[in-house]
Amino acid sequence: MMKYVDVKEVFAEIPDEITLAISISGCPIHCPGCHSQYLWTDIGESLTEEALAEMLRSHVGITCLCLMGGDQDPAEIDRLACWVKNNSKVRTAWYSGRNELPPEINLSNFDYLKTGPYDAKCGPLNVRTTNQRLYRVEGGELTDITYRFWK
């Protein structure tokens, strides 16, 4: 069972969205320099459909729900995103530390996808040298919108 630790309303993770970011524990990527090393361990509460429903109910005004992590079980990430799509009007996003999207991910379940592990030499999403990419999913196609983070 996938577990989550933090739930926060944020404005910087997905451009032009009021995002509910859910930090998922058990990350297998273990990026050197990770700012959330506490998420490497399997801690927190179970991320169930009931938990998602309560989050959506209690965070009125969000426009996007972003699953932050979950690389240990992409099929479950896809299933949860599908559930959100079918049970709410909010857009869905996944922040993955993988360089490539796994085959378990169905693009129709997502509006945004971030790929790439954190690489301190390249920097985070808000610098032009980043190795990470944020994509908008439109009609089954990925459009790179990483530039939206650059000043």
Host domain of residue 16: 3-149
- Give the pLDDT confidence score for residue 1 in this predicted structure: 87
Residue 98's Cα: distance from chain center in Å?
12
> Is the pLDDT confidence value at 84 over 90?
yes
By CB atoms closer than 10 A (0-12, 13-18, 19+), residue 39 is: buried
> Is the pLDDT confidence value at 98 over 90?
yes
Hey, which residues does 7 pair with through a beta bridge?
Answer: 22
DSSP secondary structure code for residue 61 in this structure: T
Per-residue pLDDT reduced to its tens digit, 54-66: 999 999 999 999 9
How many domains would you assign to the chain?
A: 1
State residue 75 phi and psi, 5-degree precision.
-65, -40
pLDDT band at 151 (very low <50, low <70, confident <90, very high): confident
Per-residue pLDDT reduced to its tens digit, 26-35: 999 998 888 8
Are 76 and 97 in contact by the 8 Å Cβ rule? The answer is: no
| Mean local confidence (pLDDT), 121-140 | 95
> Is the pLDDT confidence value at 146 over 90?
yes
Name which of 111, 127, 139, 87 is nearest 16 in CA terms.
Answer: 111
